[in-house]
Structure 1
Amino acid sequence: METNCNKMEDSDEFMELYIQDGVLLNSAPATYMNCINTTGTLLITEYLNSNKTRYIEWKPNDVTIDSDVQDQEWAVVNTVKGRNRTFSGSLPPESSNRSKYIKINFKDIKSFRVARSSHKLTFYDGKSDPICTFTFLHCNCDSFVGCLKSFMRTALAKRDKHLFIVLDDYLDTPETNRLDKSFAELDLFQEQPSDLMWRFVKNFQNKPYETTMEAFSKLTDIGRKNYSPTNEPSVSGNLENSMLSVYRGPEHRYMDDEVNELLNRSLEGVDYSLSTQYEYVPKLPERKEPPRGTPLTIEQWKTLQDNEGRIEDVEPIKAIIFRGGIDPALRKEVWKYLLDYYPWNSTHEERSKIIEKKKAEYYTMKRQWSTMSQIQEDNFSDFRERKSLIEKDVRRTDRTLDYFSGDNNPNLEVLYDILMTYAMYNFDLGYVQGMSDLLSPILNLEDNEVDAFWCFVGFMNKVSLNFDIDQAGMKEQLQHLHTLLEFLQPELANYLDHHDSGNMFFCFRWVLVWFKRELSQEDTTRLWEVLWTGVPCHNFHLLVCIAILETEKDALVGNNYGFTEILRHVNDLSGNLNVDAMICRAEGMYYQIREAEHLTNNIRSILGLPLVNGTTDTNDSKEASPLTSTDVSNDLQSCSLEAIGDEEVQCDRAINLSYL
């Protein structure tokens, strides 16, 4: 591997084929250890010598970067690509610093691995250790990898769909050369002959019969050397020794017998040398969507309690609630259990004591902020900022509902008091926009300041990671959402990846406030109580997201929507979603996943299912080396947040506010 420019003359012409800013260097050869954990620019370059040698290059930020890439907005993909800048003779000033570049010759790359989060990219040279590892801080690496794959032949590894094997070395074989030559002679397609050949090789592993028949269908005549008595060509049985011909005007060309044999072998399902590089993914089992049931009734609730009011068998109650929700007359009481205000096994007497204790605690915290003097407030900037934000949000929260409508509405004052008290209760988190959306339905239902506060605390304990300042919790959930979508709807996931939407940011609002902005107040309460049960799995709300996306798949793909159109379409769904249909479809997806033969530990971990062999080797946090099967450095989820710094935090906050 060539790691500097010593062997290159400064007078050599070179072209920058692709540039990606904001790329963190995680690992590199020993010569560049001082650059580890440094942010820089990743490039694909081509030196216009006799061989047109291509390189992957990385330069640290202390090397001058063109002014046209300095102005970076918080766009989803912050990339300068395809600029094709050519330098010759006297190179630009930055060329004097090219000795600082890390350079990887394309010929030295034997494989590369894209982390499941799509933010980390590792290159391998066939030895035990990786050449270099990079983390893309401002976007995922899909666009860069797409450009890279346009310059080299690659194939997915059979046992790791995130590992790409470079196949250029495989091209120079008798079998592939014969196949390439024969397709060129047939001239059936507009693509380059080699592109056609590799597309054929890639497709027939998953669909051997259909792929080969597709190729045959392009021919005008398919026959055997020995015709049937009716003089009609026969395609039954083994095609061995058959003659494939194509009419091209007056000419009548014949396909090479050896290539004909290759096609026979593909039909017969015989393994051949290149097919082992491709992974066969089994189909998902048939989906079954259980029907919705009836809500939990007062009679059922009383029956499940003992004489002292204890509920010892909780799971049947949760199952009933998941299947049909809760009778509206019973919600006010049952929500206190679902949100951990009351323990399930508490007695009537114990709950009375809990109420008194919680009431005292609440008013103690409320006095801490409500009795603060003006001088104290003037000297407490964090408090002033949170107070101002709460005041603004309360004035615009659910004002169309009767419970919060009108001027000088006392319920708005209670909403404000609860949020201010929560900021005192959890001062590390404080108040973040969106919390008022979560409190509003609870206060509307409980209609009691103390009870609503402690139920809100229980809800926030379930979703508090959504409101972390670095948005790590939201990023993780959106990554998990994409992983589940890849498993359930790979075509849609692939479409989003290629339309600047693989980050799933358009689902940000759904995940942040659990569809509160998309549903009516009644539908919100029905969905929330289902999700609070934790049935049938962890992160069920992500399956609800996918259920909606699956329903809208035809609209998104059919209209060829990009990120902006997808975001607009998703926002327009507000008020037009069927809660029961969403839950039914999501539940069907869960059972479909659980019964799938190719279920991975990564999916199991997201849904809280038991892991196979007690290992988490498919989890993003530890990427297995494709060459040594040992753990390598942590992925973006565990290491890059510290390196990202304030710029991305501000970016994420901007996304948060803009989506709300």
Structure 2
Amino acid sequence: MFEPTEQGKDISIHSGVVLRGSNTREEDVHSTGILSIVEYSFGKCIEWKPVEVSVVSESQDQDPEWSLVNTHTTRARTISEGPDSLGRSRTVRILLSDLKSFRISRCGQQLTLMLRDGTTYVVFFQLSNADSFTSSLKTYLKFIVSRKDRNMYIVMEVEDSVLERSFAELDLFQENASDYVWKFVKNLHDRPYETTMEACSKLTDILHIPQPPVSVGSGEEYEVIGAPGVGFVLPPRPPCPRGGPLTQEQWDRCKDSEGRISNSEALKEMIFRGGISPSLRYEVWKYLLNYYPWDATNAERIELRKRKTEEYFAMKLQWRSMTPGQENRFADYRDRKSLIEKDVNRTDRTHPYYYGDNNAHLGQLYDILMTYVMYNFDLGYVQGMSDLLSPILCLMDSEVDAFWCFVGFMNKVSTNFEMDQEGMKLQLSQLHSLVVITDSQLAQYLDKHESGNMFFCFRWLLVLFKREFNANDILVLWEILWTDLPCKNFLLLVCVAILDTEKNILMENRYGFTEILKHINDLSLRIELPWTLSKAEGIYHQLMSVADHLPDHIRIIIGLEPQHKPEISDSEDEVATTESQTNGNGGRPSVSSDSGNIRFGNNEVSFERGINLSYM
């Protein structure tokens, strides 16, 4: 952020404003300050200056076992002090020319500013509302209401304003001129022939030049799928209300007299519908993560835990008894040990369970990850695993229980961490296929803006949204995903649901690859989980209602059997076997989408950009 050498002139001032920046990981501590429009010689800016630090306790309603707010580090701070403890500048300054759009929500109390480079700032008004500020903006900016989201406003560029005035002077349009011009400019790129003909028809109406009739479908009740080779429609998305969490009474009813879970499928359905009560997670997670079998009796579970405890400490002893000489001759082991040490020291350190120096729980986190290296040395340790273990250890508060639950978790997601990244590439390819089938317009937009590879979703999939939701919501999301309901790749439908929510912002701001990546990263801690889960389930039911017409690659993604199984001759089978032995990926086929729009082999540089920018 630049620092002007001159004194600016305050044009409009609004006090009692909280700003949430886009570049911080922890967002529990905010500053209350003043939001202004300031004029400089180089242009006008939106400026925010803090007055004091206050705690916006978004986690007050969260599980007390996993609270994000760290009250130990919060203190009052005046504007005369330097940068805060997180290294953020005291003043945020945005050139009006850099503003791409903004959105008003929460009954006018929240304003989201979206910049041309994809950066997002969220403003909370405590003493007034966003309308008072946007009224001030009208004097200096030209913006129009989005046709798809009435709460979103698009800042018009200079050429757009000139075009609007030119059309307005002709007085050709019954609708609002600015709305029509924006529609014309936006559609010209995607549908040049149809858009030009539509605009020309307006002129010919005035000139009385006869035009051939044109028939256009309404598309109001059904959404036509534009995927190649697909000729059917998606029915309306059904509402899918969420339920309450699994209660102690419901849990007890699922057990027989010896402690067996009598109907695990019905139990999973209840968990999928509403999650698990916090007091029950310690017990139920052990079943969901395959630490305990569903049909184990009380006595069998006691015996199983005894054996697992012995096995854990035997593996732990293996690495703890390694001599310095052995370690010096074991490069892979040294590398993994060094990476674990670095990651443990920066994992959830603001959480009370891991807060402070010489924290014993950090030692347990380290020991579990090191023992996992001995348990599965082929996979070992990869950055991101500590993110998955941290909430489990906090909940279990036991090395042994946390380790075996972590093993179960890793068995579900281990392909995310394979060295060749084929598992991640496959998921990204499948995600693109789902977007193509559910929203071809968005898929085409992403393809045209270097984002059809879906690399901007890399972090979502790698650590299952650990960094996107608040700590209580991530526990709910994970336990829902562990039920494998309503289909095995429900995580991908959650991604589709979020993209569906953000579609208008991405497209109407005309974001490219970098801006899309930044915008998606800035969604961290701003995604509403219940609404997202309902939408994701609704998308699943949309697909299932036309299941017989779905392409086989989509059927496979949502857990259905393919309808067309190609017959393979003996010679073809022999060739396929030979290729699987020589392609270096353990027999897994090369990743490519049936849509024909996403390829990974020739785009590794872009893939690395997605990893580096979206994960770190």
TM-score by length of 1: 0.55
Q: Distance in 2 between matches of 1:281 and 1:646?
A: 30
Q: Hey, what's the Cα distance between the residues in 1 that align with 2:215 and 2:380?
A: 66
With CA pairs under 8 Å and 6+ residues apart, which has the higher RCO, 1 or 2? 2
Among 470, 474, 489, which residue is 1:520 paired with? 470
The Cα of 1:220 is off from its aligned counterpart by 3.8
Pick one of 528, 532, 549 that aligns with 2:499: 549
- Name the residue aligned to 2:238: 288
Partner residue, 1:327? 277
- Residues 452-463 of structure 1 mapped to structure 2, 5 A cutoff: 452-463=402-413
Give 2:316's aligned residue: 366
Which of these residues, 246, 249, 254, is aligned with residue 299 of structure 1? Answer: 249
**Structure 1 residue 490, shift from structure 2 partner:** 1.0
Alignment-derived partner of residue 343 in structure 1: 293
Instruction: Give distance in 1, aligned partners of 2:215 and 2:467.
Output: 56
**Deviation for aligned residue 1:558:** 1.2
Q: For the structure 1 residues 264 and 591, does the alpha-carbon distance in structure 2 shift closer, same or farther, using more than 3 Å as the test?
A: closer
Using the alignment, how far apart are the partners of 1:265 and 1:292 within structure 2?
41
For residues 336 and 451 of structure 2, the distance between their equivalents in structure 1, rounded to whole angstroms, comes to 33
Q: 1:606 aligns with which of 528, 546, 557?
A: 557
How far does residue 473 in structure 1 lie from its aligned partner after superposition? 0.2
**CA-CA distance at 1:247 after TM superposition:** 4.7
Aligned residue for 1:612, secondary structure, equals coil
Q: How far does residue 382 in structure 1 lie from its aligned partner after superposition?
A: 0.7
Show CA shifts across 1:377-411 (max 9, x none): 11111111000000000000000100000000000
Q: 2 CA distance for matches of 1:508 and 1:211?
A: 38
Alpha-carbon distance between aligned partners in 1 of 2:199 and 2:610, rounded to the nearest angstrom: 46
Partner-residue secondary structure (3-state), 2:234: coil
- When residues 331 and 639 of structure 1 are mapped into structure 2, their CA distance, relative to the original with a 3 A threshold, is closer
Alpha-carbon spacing, 1:502–1:405, altered in 2? closer, same or farther (3 Å): same
Instruction: Give the 3 Å change call, closer, same or farther, for CA 595–266 of structure 1 in structure 2.
Output: closer
SS of match in other structure, 1:293: coil
Q: Give distance in 2, aligned partners of 1:211 and 1:438.
A: 52
Large movers: runs of 4+ above 4 Å: 210-219, 263-267, 613-617, 644-655
Q: How far, CA to CA, are the matches of 1:647 and 1:377 in structure 2? A: 38
Shift of 1:553: 1.0
Q: Cα deviations across residues 592-639 of structure 1 (Å, max 9, x unaligned)?
A: 11113642211110111233255699xxx99xxxxxxxxxxx9x9724
Deviations 1:497-533 (A, max 9, x none): 1111111011000000000011121111010000000
- Relative to structure 1, the CA distance from residue 360 to residue 650 in structure 2 (aligned partners, 3 Å threshold; closer, same or farther) is farther
With over 3 angstroms needed to count, the CA separation of the structure-2 counterparts of 1:649 and 1:429, relative to structure 1, is: farther
| Cα distance, 1:548–1:401 mapped onto 2, change above 3 Å | same
Question: Matches of 2:483 and 2:591 in 1, distance apart?
Answer: 34
User: In structure 2, what residue type is equivalent to 1:363?
Assistant: F
Confirm or deny that 1:409 pairs with 2:352.
no
Deviations 1:74-111 (A, max 9, x none): xxxxxxxxxxxxxxxxxxxxxxxxxxxxxxxxxxxxxx
Question: Which aligned pairs between 1:523-534 and structure 2 lie closer than 5 A?
Answer: 523-534=473-484
Distance 2:609 2:197 in 1: 51
Whether the aligned pair in 2 keeps the contact of 1:602 and 1:616 (CA below 8 Å) is no
Q: What residue identity is the alignment partner of 1:561?
A: Y
Query: After superposition, what is the alpha-carbon deviation per residue over 1:191-233, rounded to whole angstroms, capped at 9, x for unaligned?
Result: xxxx9xx987xx8xxxxxx999999777449xxxxxxxxxxxx
Q: What is the Cα deviation at residue 304 of structure 1?
A: 0.9
- The answer for the alignment partner of 2:540 in structure 1 is 590
Cα pair 2:432 2:443 within 8 Å, conserved: yes
Tell me by how many angstroms 1:281 deviates. 3.2
Q: Which amino acid aligns with 2:462?
A: L
Give the superposition deviation at 1:651.
8.0
Shift of 1:330: 0.5
Deviations 1:220-258 (A, max 9, x none): 49xxxxxxxxxxxxxxxxxxxxxxxx756xxxxx89xxx
Instruction: Give, as a single letter, the amino acid of the residue that structure 2 aligns with 1:612.
Output: Q
Give the drift of 1:645. 13
1:557 to 1:484, Cα distance in 2 relative to 1, 3 A: same
- Name the CA distance, whole Å, in 2 between partners of 1:616 and 1:414: 53
1:252-283 CA distance string (max 9 Å, x none): xx89xxxx7xx79999xxxxxxxxxx967332
Whether 2:451 is the aligned partner of 1:496: answer no
Which structure: larger Rg?
1
Counterpart among 330, 333, 350 of residue 383 in structure 1: 333
Shift of residue 361 of structure 1? Answer: 0.6
2:421 matched residue in structure 1: 471
8 Å Cα contact 1:415/1:440 also seen in 2: yes
Q: Aligned-pair distance for 1:314? A: 1.1
Q: Which runs of 5+ in 2 are unaligned?
A: 1-187, 218-227, 574-582, 593-598
Matched letter for residue 606 of structure 1:
I
Contact 1:470 1:649 in 2 (8 A): no
Q: Is the 8 A contact 2:425 2:591 kept in 1?
A: no
Q: Is contact 1:519–1:577 with CA below 8 Å preserved after alignment? A: yes
| Cα distance change, pair 596–213 in 1 and its aligned pair in 2 (3 A) | farther
Alpha-carbon separation, structure 2, partners of 1:584 and 1:503: 26
* Distance in 2 of aligned mates of 1:373 and 1:361: 21
- Aligned partner of 1:429 in structure 2 is 379
Distance 1:546 1:604 in 2: 16
From the superposition, tell whether residues 599 and 605 of structure 1 become closer, same or farther in structure 2 (CA, over 3 Å): same
1:574 aligns with 2:515: no
Counterpart of 1:36 in structure 2 is none
Letter in 2 for 1:394: V
Equivalent position amino acid for 2:360 in 1: P
Q: Is the 8 A contact 1:471 1:649 kept in 2?
A: no
**Given that residues 422 and 591 in structure 2 are in contact (C-alpha distance below 8 angstroms), is that contact kept between their aligned partners in structure 1?**
no
Q: CA RMSD in A?
A: 3.5
Q: 1:368: Cα distance to partner?
A: 0.5
Taking the aligned partners of 1:219 and 1:369, their CA distance within structure 2 comes to: 82
Cα distance in 2, alignment partners of residues 640 and 608 from structure 1: 18
Alpha-carbon deviations, 1:20-54, whole Å to 9, x = none? Answer: xxxxxxxxxxxxxxxxxxxxxxxxxxxxxxxxxxx
Deviation at 1:340, TM superposition (A): 0.3
Structure-2 residue corresponding to 1:656: 611
Give the aligned residue type for 1:599.
Answer: L
- Aligned partners of 2:380, 2:516: CA distance in 1, in Å? 32
Q: How far apart, in 2, do the equivalents of 1:304 and 1:657 lie?
A: 45
TM-score under structure 2 length normalisation: 0.59
- The residue aligned with 2:489 is 539
Give the aligned residue type for 2:450. D
Instruction: Give the residue type in structure 1 aligned to 2:324.
Output: Q
How many residues of Structure 1 are paired with residues of Structure 2 in the alignment? 395
Q: Aligned equivalents of 2:230 and 2:601: distance in 1?
A: 43
Give the CA deviation at 1:555. Answer: 1.1
Corresponding residue for residue 120 of structure 2: none
Query: Which amino acid is the alignment partner of residue 381 of structure 2?
Result: Y
Letter in 1 for 2:611: N
Give percent identity, aligned residues only. Answer: 52
Task: Note the C-alpha offset of 1:649.
Answer: 7.7
Is 1:447 aligned to residue 397 of structure 2? Answer: yes
1:315 aligns with 2:265: yes
Q: Alpha carbons of 1:375 and 1:527: their partners in 2 closer, same or farther (altered >3 Å)?
A: same
**Aligned residue in 2 for 1:230:** none
Q: Is the 8 A contact 1:601 1:615 kept in 2?
A: no
Deviation of 1:311 (Å): 1.3
Match of 1:46 in 2: none
Q: Aligned with 1:416: secondary structure?
A: helix
CA contact (8 A) 2:455 2:607 kept: no
Question: What do residues 121-155 of structure 1 show as CA deviations (whole Å, max 9, x unaligned)?
Answer: xxxxxxxxxxxxxxxxxxxxxxxxxxxxxxxxxxx
State the alpha-carbon separation in 1 of the partners of residues 292 and 338 from structure 2.
33
- 1:104 is matched with none
